[in-house]
Amino acid sequence: MNSISTSRLQMSTFTLFFQRLVGEWKFQTRIFRSILDWTVIVYILLPWLVVFGFIYRSWWVDQPDWIEQIPFVLFIVLGYLAAWTGNYRTFIQEADKVFLVKHPVLLVALKRISYGYSLLFHALGIGCVTLLFLPFFIHTYQYTFTQVLLFFVLLTTLKWFVMALKPKLKKIEGKFVRGVCRGLVFVLGSWSIQFIYGFWIHESLLLPTLACFLFTALAVALYAPHLSKLSNFEEVLAIEQEERNKYMNSVLTLSPELEKVKVSSRKRPWFYRKSKRIFKRRNAETGFSELFIKVFIRNSAYWSGFLQIVSVTAVALIFVPPVWIKTVVFIAFIVMLRSWLMSIWSQITISHPLTKKYRETDAFFTARKRVLWSLVIIGLLLVLLSALVGRFLLTFVML
């Protein structure tokens, strides 16, 4: 009887897991379809995939010139940053608080299956990225298949370890102390990877192999207690909802008209907490400008989006060799940034009750023009400065 009940429990758990997994795929598909309609898929996405297939095949035959300007250490840095993204999935839902908590064996089994799925999912993702750059690793940088395989395993196990460590860091009380601890762990981890990289690049693979086993053992030791623990249901549910809505939040960030304004838990803002005046001259134009500047700076979703656009453009200007492509990227940046700032201006002014009444005045349009072009110029200066500094550092590393 016990064996029969155990087999039924396993069947019901697997059934529940696959139902949740299929529901997750449908949910994410609906999100991407909200920004990719059939015209974009047929006329842009599919042709781009075909062209990329030919480009990827050409990489195995003749490597492009731009890859020679990129040091391999950049892949190590990007891989380490990618290891700090993502969380383990549990596929639990808020309604499970009533049902699954009364059936703890089923809840634990669901978390264990989801844990195994998370390990494979993240390993597959790193494997796809490694396969994408494999022709460069083999032909341009002249690394062996053994080194590339160990590179893949090292990044995978490191990501497993970091995802197991993040719940521990989140439990630290105090936002400042938690941030300091997270920063220290991040720096210590980067030093460790640099130390391991020194052995890996010289084909001394014993220490990197031992590091893979160590990361795996620490990942299991840190996260295994969470699989059988039931008292942290709310904490696990919050992480699951955050991970499930990750792509949706990205879509909302890229689509200002659908943007969900981030609510801050602080009672007083960091900037202009006493609402001091920015402009000495007081008129309608400076009033509109001051309102927009204060709201823009106080809302992290706005200024972080501004910095994201600037940083992506700076990276493109650093690593894209042809001058004509740099020119196109630079012009596209100006158009995109001004359009994005225009939509943010509309959101701020529409939501404020005082500005609705005076939206058709000359001062409104004059203030909008001056503020938006001022921010565009600031963005241009930041892009140029970041590109120059990045180019200098890249040249210094390659020497």
User: Residue 105: which of 228, 237, 231 has the closest Cα?
Assistant: 228
Q: How far apart are CA 15 and CA 9, in angstroms?
A: 10
Q: Which amino acid is at 396?
A: F
pLDDT per 10-residue tile (average), the chain, 399 residues: 50 81 83 65 68 82 78 85 87 77 79 91 93 90 91 94 90 81 87 88 88 94 86 79 70 50 49 56 70 78 79 75 73 83 78 60 78 88 84 62
Asked if 330 and 386 count as a contact pair (C-beta separation under 8 A), the reply is no
Q: What is the pLDDT of residue 322?
A: 66
Record the tokens describing residue 169, joined without a space. 């860091």
Q: What is the pLDDT of residue 214?
A: 94
Q: What is the pLDDT of residue 264?
A: 47
Record the tokens describing residue 388, joined without a space. 């120059």
Q: What is the pLDDT of residue 213?
A: 95
Q: What is the pLDDT of residue 1?
A: 39
Q: What is the pLDDT of residue 339?
A: 82
* 349-380 exposure pattern, b = at least 16 Cβ within 10 A, e = fewer: beeeeebeeeeeeeebeebbeebbeebbeebb
Q: Which amino acid is at 115?
A: Y
Q: How far apart are CA 162 and CA 232, in angstroms?
A: 19
Write the secondary structure of the chain as one string of H (helix), E (strand) and C (coil).
Answer: CHHHHHHHHHHHHHHHHHHHHHHHHHHHHHHHHCCCCHHHHHHHHHHHHHHHHHHHHHHHHCCCHHHHHCCCHHHHHHHHHHHCCCCCCCCCCCCHHHHHHHCHHHHHHHHHHHHHHHHHHHHHHHHHHHHHCHHHHHHHCCCCHHHHHHHHHHHHHHHHHHHHHHHHHHCCCCHHHHHHHHHHHHHHHHHHHHHHHHHHHCCCCHHHHHHHHHHHHHHHHHHHHHHCCCCCHHHHHHHHHHHHCHHHHHHHHHCHHHCCCCCCCCCCCCCCCCCCCCCCCCCHHHHHHHHHHHHHHHCHHHHHHHHHHHHHHHHHHHHCCCHHHHHHHHHHHHHHHHHHHHHHHHHHHHHCHHHHHCCCCHHHHHHHHHHHHHHHHHHHHHHHHHHHHHHHHHHHHHC
> Would you say the pTM of this structure is higher than 0.85?
no
Asked if 162 and 88 count as a contact pair (C-beta separation under 8 A), the reply is no
